[in-house]
């Protein structure tokens, strides 16, 4: 069994840091900052795709904005610290004890994910990881297809857990079951469009749903 998690907004309570970093990056570049809602909506996409949506009239500034965002997110002492959501560490430990392989499919860069895993002491937790700068960005299914191949798993042996429509659309296109979580960026109604097995509101309910799915295999 392979359980694939999104990172930001699913495992990691980093949404506010992303929002503030993007807004600070726009200010650094002399650009009108996007609203909180606008930034939250693009979380889950790769950075180039996010820039296209947030700053559609400024293609010549996308690279500068992306660099400024990466600097703000990784370096700014004014931003809130990144931490796992309460209960996530225990959930991951329990899944590993049950023999599940764990993976991450994220819109973060490889450098960004590795840095965060090191900060949290989680380099050994996930058997497989895939980042947006290594493959196609969500919602294209290639990220999941590559993880399945790497883990020697069939789609019916895996499940995707995510907080965004991009996560669930990716799973839908790859033929994977999915669970949506509402404590990240998108609403229950938005997530339900992609027909997940369930949409849950907290980590305890996520744990219960994953256990129920595992027993069906």
Virtual torsion, Cα 85, 89, 92, 96, nearest 10 deg: 180
Q: Which residues pair with 12 in a beta bridge?
A: 8, 84
> Which two three-digit tokens encode residue 157?
């042996």
Dist. CA 135–CA 124, nearest whole Å: 22
Dihedral sign from CA coordinates of 81, 87, 90, 95? negative
> Would you say 9 and 43 are in contact if contact means Cβ atoms under 8 Å apart?
yes
* Nearest alpha carbon to residue 1 among 163, 127, 88: 127
Answer yes or no: 90 catalytic.
no
Please, which residues have CB within 8 angstroms of residue 42's CB and are 6 or more apart in sequence?
A: 49, 50, 53, 54
Report strand pairing: 128-131 vs 2-5.
Answer: unpaired
Virtual torsion, Cα 8, 13, 19, 25, nearest 10 deg: -80
Answer yes or no: 8 catalytic.
yes
* Active-site residue, selected from the candidate residues 8, 13, 163, 167: 8
Q: Which residues are catalytic?
A: 6, 8
């Amino acid at each position: 069994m392979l359980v694939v998690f999104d990172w930001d907004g699913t495992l990691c309570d980093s949404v506010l840091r992303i929002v503030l970093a993007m807004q600070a990056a726009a200010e650094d570049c002399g650009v009108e900052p996007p609203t909180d809602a606008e930034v939250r909506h693009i979380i889950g996409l790769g950075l180039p795709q996010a820039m296209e949506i947030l700053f559609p009239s400024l293609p010549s500034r996308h690279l500068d904005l992306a660099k400024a965002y990466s600097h703000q997110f990784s370096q700014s002492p004014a931003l809130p610290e990144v931490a796992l959501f309460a209960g996530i560490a225990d959930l991951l430990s329990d899944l590993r004890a049950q023999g599940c392989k764990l993976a991450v499919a994220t819109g973060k860069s490889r450098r960004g994910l590795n840095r965060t895993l090191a900060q949290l002491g989680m380099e050994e937790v996930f058997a497989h990881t895939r980042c947006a700068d290594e493959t196609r960005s969500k919602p294209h299914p290639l990220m999941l297809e590559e993880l399945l191949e790497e883990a020697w798993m069939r789609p019916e042996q895996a499940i995707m857990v995510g907080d965004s429509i991009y996560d669930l659309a990716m799973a839908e296109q790859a033929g994977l079951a999915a669970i949506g979580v509402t404590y990240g960026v998108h609403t229950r109604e938005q997530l339900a469009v992609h027909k997940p097995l369930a949409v849950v509101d907290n980590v305890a309910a996520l744990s219960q749903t994953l256990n129920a799915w595992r027993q069906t295999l």
